Amino acid sequence: MNDPRPAVFDCNVYLQAMLSSRGAAHACWRKALAGEVVLYVTPFILAEIRRLPDHRSLRRFRSFTHERVERFVDEVIDIATLLPDPPSAFVYPRDPDDARYVDVAISTAALLVVSNDNDLLDLMNDANSDGKALRVTYPTFRVVTPPEFLKGFDSSPATSSP
């Protein structure tokens, strides 16, 4: 078995994993549950997850309750590495909350955020000066979508014959 991959999941990945057992976000969650991912969370990330049922656009999902989210948070806490919120290492005026996920990825040396958030994904675009500066300082830093993250599990090392 390969070493677990360190990662920070954005709140939208947790949301999509809770809302549907189909799709890439849920598959990422299953990888974490299976121990194939070293998942890092902080009080800030947990608080964002806990606030999800309060979003107006999510009220249409009647089964998406605070109780359900709290049970999910308990699972997250059981499998993830819970760390204190790290000091700010990255400033992102476009979306200061997104900078908090980057800070966790930097502080843990995971240097990987899994997200469907366009503001975070845009950090990989050379036209985004904040992202470009971030990647100069941390050349291996990446933001990837759940399907991109899962591709890293598809490749297995070639076995050699004696």
DSSP labels, 13-42: HHHHHHH-SSSHHHHHHHHHHTTSEEEEE-
pTM of the model: 0.90
Helices 43-51 and 66-79: crossing angle in degrees, nearest 10, is 160
Rounded CA Rg of the chain: 16
Give residue-wise pLDDT tens across range 122-162: 999 999 999 999 999 999 999 999 999 999 886 544 433 33
Kindly report each contact of residues 55-63 with a partner whose C-beta sits within 8 Å and lies 24 or more positions away, as own/partner. Answer: 58/15, 61/19
Give residue limits of the domains in the chain.
5-151
Assign a CATH topology to domain 5-151.
Rossmann fold (3.40.50)
Give residue-wise pLDDT tens across range 57-114: 777 777 778 899 999 999 999 999 999 999 999 999 999 999 999 999 999 999 999 9
Enter the tokens of residue 82.
Answer: 């819970």
Residues ≥6 apart with Cβ < 8 Å to 140: 111
